[in-house]
Amino acid sequence: MAIQTFVARREQLLQETRQHFVADASRALEELGSLVQDRLSKLMGEAALSRDMQDRRDAWTAYQQERAAWINGTLQDWKEALQPAAPKPKREVEGALELVATDVADNRILASRLALGVLERAGAEYNDLLVRIKHLQGTQELDSDDILRPEAIFLLMVERWVKVGLSREAWYLVNDVGQELWTERLKQAYASCNAFLINQGVLPTIELADRISRVPAAAGRSGDSSTPTAPSLSSSGSTGDLSGEPGAANPGQGHHPVSRYGLGMASAFEETRILTTSTPMARTRSRALGVMGQIKGLLAGSGRVDFETKGQRTLSPALVAAMAVHSVAGSVRSVGGSDRSADATVVEDFGPAGVARASADLRRHATALKSAAETQGEKAVIEIVALMFQAILQEDRIPPGIRVWFARLQMPVLRVALAEPDFFGTLDHPARQLIDRMGSCVMGFDASVINGSALETEVKRIVQVIEQYPETGKRVYQLVYDEFQKFLAQFLTGRSSTQKVVSVAQQVEQKQTLTIRYTIEVRNMLKDLPVREEIRQFLFKIWAEVLAIAAVRKGPQHEETLALKKLASDLVWAASAKPNRSDRARVIRDLPSLLQKLRTGMTLLGLTQADQDAYIKTVSNTLADAFASKTKAIPGEQIAAMAERLARLEEFVSGDGAGDLPLDAQSIEVMLGLDASNIDVVTDGGSKPTASMLAWARQLQVGSWFTLDHNGRESQVQFVWRSEHKHLNLFASSDGRSYLIQARRLAAYLQAGLLLPQEQEALTVRATRDALTKLSANPERLLG
C-alpha cells in the first residue's frame, strides 16, 4: 500500500506539473494572438512590393477569420497532450528511419526554430526541470512528444496554424514577435514549474550526480519488462522526502549519458541549429579572429607586447633612429630599386623583377631594424610585419605594379604596428582595412588593365599620402580608407557600359520605390471615402505603378505626369454616386476621354490589349452602377483636396520597400523605354534564402570578386554597384557582360554556391596566417 501511495503521489506531481506548464503556456498563447493581430495590421501600412502587400492583405484577412479557431484548437491540442498516450507500436528494427512528409518536416522546422530561441535563454531552468521530471518518472529521457519539451508544444501550435488554413508564409510574417514572447514566457513557465516541485520536496538542490540520467539496467535487456523498484519509504508509510535518491532497493540502476530525441524532430532541430547559429560572414570572421588570437598570444607571450596599454607605445631610441634612416632610404629609392637624384631620370620597374627587388629591400630593412631594436616585443613585431608583407608580395593574383606600391607600405605599417597594439588585436584597424580593400579590388585585373589606370593612380596617391604623414598613426589610414571607398564607387561605375547599366538599374529601383510609396499614399487618401472596391484595387495595383513610371520617364511635375495624377481623382469622382442630372450628364460627356486616358496610362505600363480591355470593362461597369446608386455623393471639396494632394504626391510619401520585382530585360525595356539588351537579369536559380544568407548578401563589399555560375556558364565577376535602397546589385564581368541581381536572388545564389567569393579570407589575414606558419616552422627567427 505504501508503495502504491508513493507511486500515485509521483504520478500526481508529474500531472500537476504538466498542467501548471500548459496553463502558463495557454496564457502566453492568448497574448500571442493579440501580438499577431497587431503585427499583421502594422504590416498592412508598411511599404512593400505590390505582390508582398497582397500577401499581407491575404494573411491579415485569413487571420481575422481563423484566429479563434487557431487559438482554441491549439489549447485543445495541448490539453489532449496531457492525457496518457496510447502505447506506440514497436518498430521491427530499432532506430529504423522513417520517411517524413514535406509538410510535416516544414512544421517541425518551424517549431524547432522557436524552440532554439527558448532554449538559448531558458536553458538552465529547462534543464533543471528535466532533471526533476526524470527523477520522478524514473526514466532516462522524456518522450520526444512530451508537452514539457518546447519543440513539442510549438509543433502542436504550428500544426494547428496550418490545419485551420493559415499559410506558412503568413507565419514567417509574425514569427519574430512569437519568438520574443515565447522566449520570455516559457522561461517563466519553467521557473514556475521548478518552484512548484521544490515546494513539494523534489530535489531542492540539484547536484552534479543528479544531472546524469539514470535508467534501470534491466531496461536495456531484450525481453525484460521489469520496472524499477521504488525508493524506500519512511516507517510511517508516507511518501517521505521526494528529493531522496533511489537507494539499495534499486541496485540495478546505472548511467546512460546518451540523449535520444524522436528522429524527425531531432533532424529538424539540428538542421535549424546549423542554419541559424552562424552566418557565413560570421564563420569567416570567427576564423580570422582565431588567426588574430594566435598572433596576439604569440606577441603577448613572455611579456613581449602589452596589449593592455592604451594609446601610443614608446619605442626604444635606437629603433626610432633606425626607422628614420630606413624610411628616408626607402623614400629616395625608386620603387624598382634604382637610385634617385635631383638630376637623374628614374626608370621604375613595376614588373615581377621590381617586386623581387622590393621584397629583398624590405627584408634587408627588417633585418637592420631588428638589430637596432632593444626589446623582444619590438623584434617580434618587426619580424611578423616583414613576414606579412612577404606574403602579400607573393600574392600573384595581385598585379605586380600594385604589389610594388604595397611594398612601400611596409615601413608605415610597421610604425603603426609598433606604436599601436590594436593593429594585432583587431580586424577593424584602418591600416588592415585599407590593405584588404585595395587588395580585394585589384585581384581580378591583369597587369595590362591595371597599369596606368585610375585605380593604380589612386593606390599610388594613397601610398604617398601615408608616407607624407608618418607620425599620425591610424588617423591617416582612416582618412585615406574613407577616400578610397568613395573613389571606388565612382571608378567601378565609370566605364561607359557600366554607367548605362547602372542608370537603368537606378531607374528600375526608383520606379519600384515610387510605386510602393504611391500605393500607400493613395490608400491613405481613399480610406475615408466611399469608393467602390473595384476602383480602389485599380488605383492600388495599376494606377500607382502608372504614376511611378510616368514620374521616372518624364519627371514628377511634368505635364503628362500631372495629367495622369489628376485622372485618378477624376476616376474617383466619376465612380461615386450621381444623384443629380447635371453630374450624370458630365460623366457621360467625359467618359470617352476618361477611358482613353486610362488606356494611355496602361499602355505606358506595358499591359496587353486583353488586360486593358478587362480593366476598362470593370471601370465601365462600376461607372454604370454609380448612376443607379442611392448612396451619398462624395463632396466636391474632398475630390479637390485629393487632386491637390496627388499633384504634390512626392511631398507626402516616404519609406522604401524590399523584395523581388518581376524583372527581366524585356520588362525593363517596356517599363522604362530603355535598351536593356546588354543586361543579364538573374531571375532564377537557388532556393528560398535563409535570414543568415540575406544578411550575408547585404554585407558584400563593392569591388570584391566572385565566380558566378549563371545558366550553366561560369564567369569571373566584380561587384560594382548596389542601389540606394539595396534592392538591386550589379556585377560586371571582364568580357563586358553585366548581371543585375535582386537582393533575395543574390542571397539565394550565395546559399546555393552559385556565387562564390574568390577570397575566403582578407589579404592581411592570409598574410598573418602565412607568417604564423613560417614562425611555427622556424620559431627562432622571431627574435633572431
User: Which set of grid coordinates corresponds to residue 391?
Assistant: 606574403
Above 90 in pLDDT, residue 752?
no
Above 80 in pLDDT, residue 499?
no
- For every residue of 145-159, DSSP letters joined together read T-TTSHHHHHHHHHH
Which segment of 168-177, 277-286, 468-477, 529-538 scores lowest on mean pLDDT? 277-286
Q: Which CA distances in Å does 525 have to 518, 520, 655, 701?
A: 10, 9, 17, 40
Q: Do 432 and 417 contact (CB within 8 A), yes or no?
A: no
Residue 227: what pLDDT? 35
633 — pLDDT class (breaks 50, 70, 90)? low
Q: Which residues of 426-459 are buried (b: 16+ CB within 10 A; e: fewer)?
A: eeebbbbbbbbbbbbbbbbbeeeebeebebbebb
d(CA 686, CA 784): 53
Above 90 in pLDDT, residue 82?
no
Q: Do 211 and 217 contact (CB within 8 A), yes or no?
A: no
Q: List pLDDT tens digits, range 106-139.
A: 788 778 778 877 876 777 788 888 888 888 888 7
Dihedral of CA atoms 14, 143, 186, 109 in degrees, nearest 10, equals -160
237 — pLDDT class (breaks 50, 70, 90)? very low
Q: Do 731 and 739 contact (CB within 8 A), yes or no?
A: yes
568 — pLDDT class (breaks 50, 70, 90)? confident
Q: List pLDDT tens digits, range 414-463.
A: 999 988 878 887 888 999 999 999 988 887 666 666 667 888 889 999 99
Residue 67: what pLDDT? 93
Q: What is the mean pLDDT of the chain?
A: 74
Residue 219: what pLDDT? 36
**Percent share of the chain, pLDDT over 70:** 68
Provide mean pLDDT across the span 75-93.
67
Q: List pLDDT tens digits, range 20-57.
A: 999 999 999 999 999 999 988 888 877 666 667 778 88
- What pTM was computed for the model? 0.48
Sketch out the chain's domains with CATH numbers. 2-84+97-214+262-276 (no CATH), 282-339+349-492 (no CATH), 498-651 (no CATH), 665-758 (2.30.30.140)
**Percent share of the chain, pLDDT over 90:** 15
Residue closest to 358 by CA, chosen among 346, 369, 348:
348
374 — pLDDT class (breaks 50, 70, 90)? confident
Above 90 in pLDDT, residue 283?
no
